Structure 1
Amino acid sequence: MPSTDAPRVLLTGFEPFDGATSNPSATAVGAAATLLREQGVPTRALVLPVEFGRAGDLLAEAVRAERPGVVLATGLASGRRGITPERVAINVRDARIPDGTGAHPVDEPVVSGGPAAYFSSLPIKALVAAGTERGVPASVSQTAGTFVCNDVFYRLMHLLTTDPALDGVRGGFVHVPEEDVVGPAEQARAVAAMARAALGTSEDLRRPGGTIS
């Protein structure tokens, strides 16, 4: 059983990658965790390596050890114009570039024999609303890609779906943009607001969030 001071929220981001000195996802979750704790929400922030397999392993260890109510994993999506909760994780690794160890899988499953996809168990449209209500551009994303972000997202959802000890733990993934699109303070406030929305929303908002193409 988790301890009485186990976090209600587990946030994750990624370490710097590909020569960068920082990663906006790690910056955002570190600051968001501080905001949530100041608001009385026990929260842990975890920074993961940009590595196929190992990042998911470390996340699984933390989730099993602490059994938070909500797991909100984040990663950087360069080129996006806002913060984007992800709808679905797919069971494929198809790396356009190598990960942090040089691994370069092509058309491999994340989990051999696993289902083709998992939907987020977080209220993604309520998360979007939590961001936009704070003046931060946000929208639902229909793809988390096929790199390490999707790998972590799929591993998280597979874990929560298949481990009976984690019944009631909900999880999902959010991409953040570069900090010149949404500043670090705004990103942190939006991530914290999204975590609170995930904790407090049992049924998602019924509003359009899809795309035509």
Structure 2
Amino acid sequence: MPSSSTLTASLPRVLLTGFDPFGDTGHSGQPLNPSWLAVKALHGKRIGGHLVVAAQLPTVFQASVDELTRLLQLHKPALVVCVGQAGGRGAISLERIAINVNDARIPDNIGAQPVDTPVVAGGPAAYFSSLPIKAMLQALQAAGVAAEVSQTAGTFVCNHVFYALMHALATRRGFKRTRGGFIHVPYLPEQGAPSMPLEEIVRGLRLAVAAALATPRDIAKGAGAVS
């Protein structure tokens, strides 16, 4: 009989990434980023017959993409969900679209601050998430988790990673069947308001991943913005 470690090694992978702390997000001198804390809590878990692998990305424009590229080649995941922090949002935000522009209002963690530059020179203006975001939204709301579809991932490192991910999945050999996208999570209560407890963020991400794995084609559900 195969060992549990052998069975685990044979499972298809779900890659979850979160970011290290950036900017003024600390509390009492202890910087944190809920995106990393949440995905780290799911590392090694099994969801929908897949093994979750969590990894941290630096909040640095080029280095984040370099690390993401390495992780894609290493794990060959069936599903990729990059997660970031969005202060000012009170719900788990399922991002719809990544745009091909960097426009940093603040520097990244090594001081880089690109303004009006492309994420990928010559790349498409935008990519849509290939995650079933409406089915994920429905699963979250049915479980009582505050969630929304977001029409913008910003123009900082989160959007940079989101666009680079979708470009890699669209253009790199071996990833045509891999689905991916981006989720923003709120602050933790100790960071300020609006916020969401870490346990609720972890629960929401687990539900979102399970819904994505169980949904080969997205559902029709109104969740757009009026303005």
How many equivalent pairs are there? 210
Offset from partner CA, 1:148-180 (integer Å, 9 cap, x none): 000000000000000121121100000000122
Offset from partner CA, 1:14-52 (integer Å, 9 cap, x none): 011125311000011111335x33875311001110000
Partner of residue 194 from structure 1, selected from 208, 211, 217: 208
Residue 34 of structure 2 is matched in structure 1 by: 24
The 1:23–1:7 alpha-carbon spacing in structure 2 relative to 1, beyond 3 Å, is: farther
RMSD of Structure 2 on Structure 1 (CA): 1.6
Residue 112 of structure 1 is matched in structure 2 by: 121
Q: Is the 8 A contact 1:5 1:42 kept in 2?
A: no
- SS of alignment partner, residue 85 of structure 1: strand
Percent identity among equivalent residues?
50
The 1:211–1:38 alpha-carbon spacing in structure 2 relative to 1, beyond 3 Å, is: closer
Q: Is the 8 A contact 1:130 1:190 kept in 2?
A: no
Q: Is the 8 A contact 2:48 2:214 kept in 1?
A: no
The 1:101–1:6 alpha-carbon spacing in structure 2 relative to 1, beyond 3 Å, is: farther
Instruction: State the alpha-carbon separation in 2 of the partners of residues 193 and 206 from structure 1.
Output: 19
Residue 217 of structure 2 aligns to which amino acid in structure 1? E
Instruction: State the alpha-carbon separation in 2 of the partners of residues 157 and 119 from structure 1.
Output: 8
Partner of residue 13 from structure 2, selected from 8, 11, 18: 8
**Gaps in structure 2 of 5+ consecutive residues:** 1-7, 190-194
- SS of alignment partner, residue 18 of structure 2: strand
TM-score after normalising by structure 2? 0.88
Instruction: State the alpha-carbon separation in 2 of the partners of residues 61 and 11 from structure 1.
Output: 14
Residue 212 of structure 1 is matched in structure 2 by: 226
* Larger strand share, 1 or 2: 2
Q: Is the 8 A contact 1:136 1:182 kept in 2?
A: no
Instruction: State the alpha-carbon separation in 2 of the partners of residues 81 and 24 from structure 1.
Output: 13
Q: Is the 8 A contact 1:84 1:176 kept in 2?
A: yes
**Gaps in structure 1 of 5+ consecutive residues:** none
Runs of 4+ in 1 over 6 A off after TM superposition: none
